[in-house]
Each structure stands twice: as structure tokens, then as C-alpha cells.
Structure 1
Amino acid sequence: MTRYIKTDTAAPPPRTARYSHAVEANGFLFVTGQLPIDPDNPEGPLPSSIEEQTELVFRNLSLIVEASGYALSDTVFARIYLSHFERDYAGLNSIYHRYLTDENALPARTTVGVARLGRDALVEIDLTLARR
């Protein structure tokens, strides 16, 4: 069974793109990459620091994951994009490790530097989760 998930609580997709917030298939949940967009003010400016932006990304990820019936602790893989890798890697990790805390069940992870992200964001994160 495949389930396509859209939620009104997380930041909406931009008007120029059409996609689900997440798709569940065969016991896995694939969460679309989230930018640091305030779900309460989607057109508002992005925060300036990597820490504030990462908090907003995790707010959106959490809203999507919970609306899908999963928990962040079900994450098995995280893919992270940073537009200023060297500068922001430590700041990203200071927030990331507050949300994914179990040292014995840390997800696999890839972190890559990119030339640019949508809305000139500093960070974007997508997740894959599995039912325990």
C-alpha cells in the first residue's frame, strides 16, 4: 500500500512545485526535503543563522512525521544539504543532535555542500523513516 501525505500544519510546497509532504510505501516513510520556512508565515523572511534555520527545518519535519503516524526516532536515514558547508556544519549539528538523540540508534546520514538552495536557505533536510 502507498499513502501520499499532505498536511496543513507544515510549510506548504511553493506555488511553482507540486509534491506530497511525504509518501509511505512498504513500511517506509519518505519525507520531502524541508527548507527553514515558518509554517505560520510561509512567505516571511528566513532566519539568518544556521541554528535558527535548522530549528525551523526540524519543526516542519516533526509536523510531517507526526501527521504521518511516525516519530523522529523512526528515522533511518537523513540527507542534509548545506549552502555554506564549512561555516555551518557545527551549527547544524548542535541542533540536529537535539532531535535525534539515541546514540544507539542514530540514522545513517549524508551531509553535502551545495551551491544554492531554494529561497537562499542555508539548510535543507529530507528523511527516510521505518516502522519499528
Structure 2
Amino acid sequence: MEKKSFQFAADTGVPPQVGPFSHATRWGDMLFITGQMPTSPSSGKMVDGDVTAQARQVRRNLEAVLKQFNLTLDASLMVRVYLASFEDYDAFNQEYASWFQGPLPSRTCVGTTGLAVGALVEIDLIAGIS
């Protein structure tokens, strides 16, 4: 199998990179999406607000990457969530629960001491391509 990496232009709704990485890497029928931050695709700046507002922007950013492959969040097999404060766990879960129409993917949620660009939340995922 061949590994293929993808980067996307701003007009796709995918925010600019904040480091040396690919937005997504495809290997066979699996798509690995790099951790998305709560950054605006148009400005590249982090959105204001609490963990719920930031999670909503992260969702939009994940959806923009998935859209490039004609996928939705329901293609997610495994999701990793990083929270800058585990005190935000319940508020984040309340928002996250509405993201999926089908069965929930597997998930790991990690509390950290800090995230890039001062974010409160970052999420990466692995999706299946059928």
C-alpha cells in the first residue's frame, strides 16, 4: 500500500497549518486526520470563547478536511481529544455528543498542560474510507 499525504488550500475551508505536517494521510482505506485546532480558516487565528465555542470550530475544521474525501464525521473510527483543562470534560462531552448520526466512534480524551496556539481543545481522528 502506498501512503499519500494531503494539504489543502484556504478556499477549501481547511485552516492553514501551524506546523510541519499534512492535514491528512491516506493509507489504504484509512484516513488519518491531523489534530485540528480552533482556528478560523479565513484568518488562521484562534476563535474566541470557551471550550464549547472552540470545539465547534474544531468540528468545522475536521468536517472541512473530511469533505475533501466526501466523508462526514460518521466515517470516524477513532477520535482523540486533547483538553487543556479536564475541568472542561463535561462541557466538551455535551457538545461532542451531538456530532454523530450513527454509532459513536472509539475515543480517547487526554488532559494536557497546554496546547498549541493557546487552544482549549484539539482533536485528531482516524476515518474509514469505503
Give the TM-score of the pair, scaled to structure 1.
Answer: 0.89
Q: Distance in 2 between matches of 1:95 and 1:7?
A: 27
Is the deviation greater in 55-64 or in 1-10?
1-10
What is aligned with 2:125?
A: 127
Is structure 2 residue 111 aligned with structure 1 residue 101? no
Matches within 5 A, 1:24-35: 24-35=26-37
Identity among equivalent positions (%) equals 31
Task: Letter of the 1:33 partner, please give it.
Answer: G
Any unmatched runs of 5+ in structure 1?
none
Q: CA deviation at 1:79?
A: 0.3
Task: Letter of the 1:37 partner, please give it.
Answer: T
Any unmatched runs of 5+ in structure 2?
none
Kindly indicate whether the alpha-carbon contact (under 8 Å) linking 2:47 and 2:57 is maintained by their aligned counterparts in 1: no
Give the TM-score of the pair, scaled to structure 2.
Answer: 0.90
Task: Letter of the 1:128 partner, please give it.
Answer: I
Q: CA deviation at 1:82?
A: 0.3
**Corresponding pairs, count:** 126
What is aligned with 2:70?
A: 69
What is aligned with 1:112?
A: 110
Is structure 2 residue 34 aligned with structure 1 residue 36? no
Q: Distance in 1 between matches of 2:71 and 2:101?
A: 16
